[in-house]
Structure 1
Amino acid sequence: MCEVTRDNFDELLPQIKNDIDKSIFVAVDAEFSGMVAKDLDYLPLTEDAAARYRRVRENIQLFTLTQFGLSTFVYDRSTNSFQAHSYNFYLFPSQCGNYDPRIMFQSSSVTFLQRLDFDFNKVIFEGIPFLNSEQEESLRRQKFKRSFQDIHEVKKRLQRLIRWLSEAIEGSTLELGPLDNVCHEIFKQEIKKKLPEAVVDSEIIIGRQIVTCLKAVPKATSMVFDVSVSRGDTEHDEDLEMEEIDWTGLVDEALGFTKVFRHLCESKKPIVGHNLLHDLMFLYEKFHAPLPERYEDYKREIHRILPSVYDTKLLYRELKKNLSRSLMVQFSSLDELYYGLKSKSARFLAPKIGHADNFSRYNDTGCLHEAGYDAYVTGFVFLRFLHLCVVDGVRPSDRKSIKFSQYINLAQPHKNRIPLSRACMPYFNLEGPDPEPYPLVSIHVSLREGADVGLLDQLPRLLAGYGFLDVEQLSPTTAKLVSASGARTSYMLEELKDHPSLILRAYRFYDHPSAKRAVKIFVGVALTVLGGIGCYCVCKK
């Protein structure tokens, strides 16, 4: 694994792009500052795909990414092996010009990551900035005047630089002290205009502060006598105050990780993740553009920029049913799948999967919920599980000749399908119509005589083993259950038919209090009308 922060991002960027280009697919994972701000603690089974998208979108707009894991898998035909190049990026949005983002942290998410020794200091002090296209365009349109505070900081360093240049010898260096990114950009521009012979030797980023190192070159000493700012020339001071800043360098720096995401989109490499609903929407919102209001617009655009997406959670759910019992892997969470598929019994002449040179941190120890590690694990699960599915039914002598293209062919029918939890449909289909919703089954629950009325409040916990259920309390002693699984509902009715406290039966529309009220009103009106007609007929006679 290679850890990437603001300090080494620019240095590693060419290598990261090269690894993406060489890869056969790229596995990804992300950690967030939170996920649930509102309306996600309860997800109704009855809502459609568009409603679910809108619900998740509202939450994602409030939070940010703290870590992003990217693992590129390179295939070596000569050894029939895959080498993983895993990167763990620390991310944090940076203030730039008038762009000053607000972010939210969710206490439960922070606590969860703290237990895993997550380094929040590294996120805040060394996190790589990022922008989406709308934020970038807005910054590039802005024109800013230099503030008095900025001018003061730049003047101090220019004067110090000038004094030093008058005595400096060739090859000596001067370290000027930390500046924020705005002052640093102004300082660089002033050096280019007023001290063209003073060459910037290096830039060291320490947290959010930038230290600039300068190298004295021939003729630099003679140039100092022509720099009037050293003598407090008011004309030059006014120029420094009135000129607008060229933000090009600052915006390019603020783009940060967005450069990696854009290269990933341009490469059109297959993207592999586990339970990708939130990950994809975060990637879209933070690095591409604000999430559109309409679900169909989101589907169309995410498929355009990332045309090949595979979700290991959905692949496992859909393909495990076709595996022979002897090859069945009975797990669902990412780490359980990884350790199950890593076992000797699951190998079956599978291609070797390892870490590339200089990426060996994860060889001996796991770092669960570190995004770079989870990205590698996701890619491993993708390869090993598809291998199991392909070799099932293949003679042992033919297993060595299996190619990666056979894995992709097997996964192809499930491409661009993102699994949903607690929903009336199994997945979002990013490249076509969504599947038909499950037929919902409704159950009426009532308490037997003498049963504790508080039992209805405990129904979600008592019936958790029968799948996802919506519970609506109709009265102090009755409730309505809605399930998306007819088979589980039938099993529940059969198993609980003799429950000592509950009576379960099929729900009828008139079981709902509003329906009962409507029926009573209708009957009352009908009787009133019939009575009136009867009286009229009697009087007529």
Structure 2
Amino acid sequence: MEVTRSNFRESLPTISSAISKASFLAIDGEFTGLQKGVNLHAFDTPNERYQKLRQGSMDFLLMQFGLCAFEYEATTKRHIIRAFNFYLFPKPFSRQAPDVCFSCQSSSIDFLVSQGFDFNKLFREGIPYLTPAEEQKSRDALESKYNQLDMMSSPAFTSPTGADTAVAKGPIEIPSEHKQYVEDICKQVEELTAEGNTSQTLELKPTSAFQRKLVYQTLKLKFHAGLHLETKTNNNRQRYIVISKVKNAEDQKQKEESRKAAEMEELENAVGFSKVIRMISQSGKLVVGHNMMLDVLHVLHQFSCPLPESYEDFKSLTRCVFPRLLDTKLMSSTHPFKDWIINTTLGDLRKLLENKPFEKPVVESAEGFPAYTTDNEQLHEAGYDAFITGLCFIGMSKYLGTFQSPKKEHIPPSSPLIEPFLNKLFMFRVQDIPYMNLAGPDLQPSRDHVFHLSFPKEWKTSDISQLFAPFGNVYIGWLDDNSAFVSLYKKDEADRVLQNITTGDTFSVVAYKDFIERMQKSSSRKHNIPASDLDLPVKKRQSSSPLNVNASPFQSTRSITPIPEEMEEENNGTVNMDDLGEPLAKRMKTDCKSGSEKKLFDEPENW
């Protein structure tokens, strides 16, 4: 179901019902860009990765949000799906409302255009939103406005003697250039209020805020009763005054209450999509995403509150808003799935999970909802991507059921078999830390086999590989033109590096641990470690001699930020999950059909 500003309000009950009925929820987002100013490298810690994304990605907008609610029917053994595709745009609802500035990245916009994204619909019909703090600020501004209006109508304001000295401000003197305009308005009002005139309202032409203030002031002073003034906005966003006749004080009060109610309703509409996020949060349902770190960061930042500086505060905030998260990118990259899944990009993952030993899920769209099918791919429409993400989760969950004795057809989201994957966000492009652990301490793998190398800017990949050739194949993570991290494929060779490679006139080699300690002590310079090779000239990544491609992945030749799918493709084969440290879960043993013992998520204790 496509949801825009024009049908959002009427769709809220349907959205609420879908969330309430769901067994789990799948989400996806589309953005105006991915990251800028900071780069990501293969040896980021979770804290460093969070800080880089917080600083370099939050200026972009989450502009399309996909939500797919999956309801399991035990009688038919199928899932009923209710998919929503929301267009989001922070249109200011008043002068006091936030006027959001945001960034766009040409590669992201170009990619979405190529996928048929409707930007006209986004800007014309995008659903607005406010964070709780912005909502409260707007409510306070309305209350302040009402108090000022009450003050303007008080005797202290209107009395020529200024009886109440508590009010310092009185009427503004009308400038000479505006006197004729105000006099003309007064004549029109006199005609409106003349005996025998059956007209009830008078609409003035759009004018400036200062002229409207003069009109308000003059008419309240000249016509003490019998009139109600209200400012409205036309289709061209021009503001004008509507003057209405009132019979008595009670009628005047009713019109004032009606105006206040209309403004409060406008504010409720401005809260907009944030209501959906609150529904999801309050439901406590499992929220599933694919490579969902950016989705989570943007949702929190745009609809909850600005991301906190503290990484631990961020983890606490995330658990508060989304108590149960699951990343299918991470799930598909670990035991027992990784032995069967060679590509974890969303579209390819869905196809792999339809073949043995997996089983294609049985799903059906609820009445009144779009009939998404895998036969007609609509990848990069957020609602469809959320649908595909949910299918992947069901497919992998069903596979876990095959390890049970007897085999289970359905593994509910509350199953203990799902617990090891909860609240862990996939860390793309990281060499040895697979996930950000929202529910506990992060992994701290040994990096004794990693070295920091400084060298002349003329060096290329082949030069570095030749330097480290005696120790086998290496992974090279470029930091800038003059430095890189070098990771040994054969970790047991680490002790020999500093013994055999002595610092020369043109280069220096430092153990990773020593380099990090040195950087932390350089508080006076506050130097940020350079990031990936994405912004380096292509020549820096070219070798004069071939390297062993079986040893480790090589760097991308892109010089612009890739789209999320390309990020995933770069990760396929980059992260060796057998070298990732502590397992996602303790050894979980169950009996299979044959009675033999199988180990789920049986990962090595050491990376």
Question: TM-score range, shorter-chain basis?
Answer: 0.5 to 0.7
Could you report, residue by residue, the CA deviation over 1:451-477 in whole angstroms, capped at 9, with x for unpaired residues? x966448979xx9xx8963236897xx
> What are structure 2's unaligned runs of at least 5 residues?
150-173, 175-181, 207-224, 229-233, 239-243, 511-607
For the 8 Å contact 1:38–1:59, the answer to whether it is kept is: yes
Match of 2:412 among 386, 405, 412: 405
**Structure 2 CA distance for aligned equivalents of residues 134 and 512 of structure 1:** 57
**Structure 2 CA distance for aligned equivalents of residues 100 and 361 of structure 1:** 37
Could you report, residue by residue, the CA deviation over 1:328-387 in whole angstroms, capped at 9, with x for unpaired residues? 2322101101122234x4554x65123222223423522111100000000000001221
Deviation for aligned residue 1:403 = 3.0
Deviation for aligned residue 1:110 = 0.2
SS in 2 for 1:28: strand
Aligned residues: 429
**Structure 1 CA distance for aligned equivalents of residues 509 and 383 of structure 2:** 58
2:346 aligned with 1:334: yes
2:272 aligned with 1:256: yes
For the 8 Å contact 2:454–2:509, the answer to whether it is kept is: no
Pairwise mapping of residues 103-502 of structure 1 onto structure 2 (< 5 A)?
103-142=102-141, 143-144=144-145, 226=246, 247-320=263-336, 328-343=340-355, 345=356, 347-348=358-359, 351-363=361-373, 364-391=375-402, 393=403, 398-399=406-407, 401-405=408-412, 408-423=415-430, 424-442=432-450, 455-456=460-461, 469-471=476-478, 481-483=485-487, 488-489=489-490
Deviation for aligned residue 1:194 = 8.5
Q: Could you tell me the percent identity over the aligned residues?
A: 29
| TM-score with structure 1 setting the length | 0.67
SS in 1 for 2:389: helix
**Structure 2 CA distance for aligned equivalents of residues 467 and 8 of structure 1:** 56
Partner residue in 2 for 1:498: none
The RMSD of aligned alpha carbons is 4.9
**Structure 1 CA distance for aligned equivalents of residues 366 and 65 of structure 2:** 19
Alpha carbons of 1:458 and 1:362: their partners in 2 closer, same or farther (altered >3 Å)?
farther
Could you report, residue by residue, the CA deviation over 1:22-79 in whole angstroms, capped at 9, with x for unpaired residues? 1010000001111112103xx2344432222111101233111110000000011110
2:73 aligned with 1:73: no
Partner residue in 2 for 1:232: none
**Structure 1 CA distance for aligned equivalents of residues 12 and 351 of structure 2:** 32
Partner residue in 1 for 2:152: none
Could you report, residue by residue, the CA deviation over 1:208-241 in whole angstroms, capped at 9, with x for unpaired residues? 979xxxxxxxxxxxxx87579xxxxxxx9xx99x
2:497 aligned with 1:506: yes
Alpha carbons of 1:428 and 1:76: their partners in 2 closer, same or farther (altered >3 Å)?
same
Partner residue in 1 for 2:24: 25
**Structure 2 CA distance for aligned equivalents of residues 517 and 336 of structure 1:** 41
Greater shift in the superposed pair: 51-60 or 350-359: 350-359
For the 8 Å contact 1:315–1:411, the answer to whether it is kept is: no
Partner residue in 2 for 1:184: none
For the 8 Å contact 1:390–1:406, the answer to whether it is kept is: no
Deviation for aligned residue 1:402 = 2.9
Alpha carbons of 1:511 and 1:390: their partners in 2 closer, same or farther (altered >3 Å)?
farther
Deviation for aligned residue 1:274 = 0.6
Equivalent position amino acid for 2:442 in 1: D
Equivalent position amino acid for 1:436 in 2: Q
Partner residue in 2 for 1:534: none
Equivalent position amino acid for 1:271 in 2: V
Equivalent position amino acid for 2:64 in 1: Q
Equivalent position amino acid for 1:8 in 2: N
Deviation for aligned residue 1:390 = 2.5
> What are structure 1's unaligned runs of at least 5 residues?
169-176, 179-192, 197-204, 211-223, 229-235, 494-504, 519-541
Alpha carbons of 1:225 and 1:53: their partners in 2 closer, same or farther (altered >3 Å)?
closer
SS in 2 for 1:88: strand
Equivalent position amino acid for 1:389 in 2: L
Alpha carbons of 1:11 and 1:45: their partners in 2 closer, same or farther (altered >3 Å)?
same
| TM-score with structure 2 setting the length | 0.60
SS in 1 for 2:419: helix
Alpha carbons of 1:440 and 1:35: their partners in 2 closer, same or farther (altered >3 Å)?
farther
For the 8 Å contact 2:135–2:271, the answer to whether it is kept is: yes
For the 8 Å contact 2:286–2:413, the answer to whether it is kept is: no
Deviation for aligned residue 1:407 = 7.7
SS in 1 for 2:333: helix
Match of 2:95 among 91, 94, 97: 97
Could you report, residue by residue, the CA deviation over 1:153-204 in whole angstroms, capped at 9, with x for unpaired residues? xx9xx99xx99x9699xxxxxxxx99xxxxxxxxxxxxxx9999xxxxxxxx
Deviation for aligned residue 1:299 = 0.3
For the 8 Å contact 1:390–1:407, the answer to whether it is kept is: no
